Chain A
């Protein structure tokens, strides 16, 4: 058989691709469940981090069950929706403005409300969680994650140095939703609370700024009606 003929080359490439695709699909299916479990654990760690609670992989399940008392879904108009808040796909929820997850936690006897956020950074999605005190105005804690921001620059939003700035800031001023601005270090924002952005991570900071506004804006009706 002529190894260099066009027919052989084309068939060879075709068979190779099919074998490879089958192998990858099989592994993906076989490992999916374990990977999903890891992602869920990671999500719980993030939610706990926004409540200023650190947990490692082993203790996270117990701590999560202990602190998170209730979770439900709300629509943009403030009405409740059916479904499991933890499993809900946040990206899809924001696209439709429906079924947005809310987690209610009790930390040291005080009620905290956790809201999910999602937006875009420079290279890809960024997301996070923000918790409010029971006045539903003052921020208790935040946590930010990113898929592929530049390490050392935009990816710094995932550090506690950045996220800890939010504690104590208020998202409403005189009963009006203002969000919290992320400004260039040294600058100020008029009429709303603000924190310092990341030097050298301008686009990511702007993305996080937009993310906080857009995400919390979806919850405004829900927050108002319960006050």
Chain B
């Protein structure tokens, strides 16, 4: 069995661009707006989501032949809830400040449409390895957008990246001002819209007729 056959590569890489959950499937927008005011929480959220989706998908895939059809959504929810709780506990132990900042949103990974959608649409019908790749792919596709948005919002909103000042003081002396609007959620929506615009302009096949 070829672990990285053409089909598996497609499973892993398609969600990063052509089937990106945020900018093509329009899923998970809510959390993308909330956590991206700074770059660092965006990265932590991205990593957490990759871990949760990948493992949730694998677990569902491993037990897919035993799950009674009538309670499959409940089973998926339980699996996802356990993983989210685990991530939250681990963050509390090893990245306390981060867990305080992200507290609500880590819990909200559970309600992230991408997570349930992948388990229902992919994990239930495919083997564990494919499910793992699919989860990593979708998590990465989501995380990538989060990081891009976080990058621009922190750069333009606070003049910093990862808390380090990157815009030289001399710019401020010349009259440059941080755009406070970038810190507010609406600008995340507009940033995502700009990303979608650029993405569709480069991928003509995604444009609606």
Contacts and interface: CB of A to CB of B under 8 A. Distances in A.
A27 B92 CA distance: 12
Given A20-B78, A20-B82, A3 B69 contact: yes
A181 B14 CA distance: 59
Contacts of A62: none
A31 B96 contact: no
A190 interface: no
Chain B at the A interface: mostly helix, strand, loop or mixed? Answer: helix
A117 B165 CA distance: 36
B74 A28 contact: no
Q: Determine the interface band of chain B, counting residues with CB < 8 A from chain A.
A: 20 to 34
Nearest to A8: B68
Interface string B53-94: 000000000000011111100110010001001100110111
Interface in A196-222: none
A35 B93 CA distance: 4
B68 A38 contact: no
Contacts of A41: 96
A4 B93 contact: no
Chain A at the B interface: mostly helix, strand, loop or mixed? Answer: helix
Contacts of A79: none
A225 B86 CA distance: 50
| Chain A to chain B: the 4 pairs with minimum beta-carbon distance, closest first | A38-B96, A34-B93, A31-B93, A9-B68
Given A4-B69, A12-B66, A23-B82, 7 more contacts: A12-B67, A12-B71, A13-B71, A13-B75, A31-B89, A38-B96, A39-B96
30 contacts: A3-B66, A3-B68, A4-B68, A4-B69, A9-B71, A12-B68, A13-B71, A13-B75, A16-B75, A16-B78, A17-B78, A23-B82, A23-B86, A24-B82, A24-B85, A27-B85, A27-B89, A27-B90, A31-B89, A31-B93, A34-B93, A34-B94, A35-B92, A35-B93, A38-B92, A38-B93, A39-B96, A41-B96, A57-B97, A148-B104
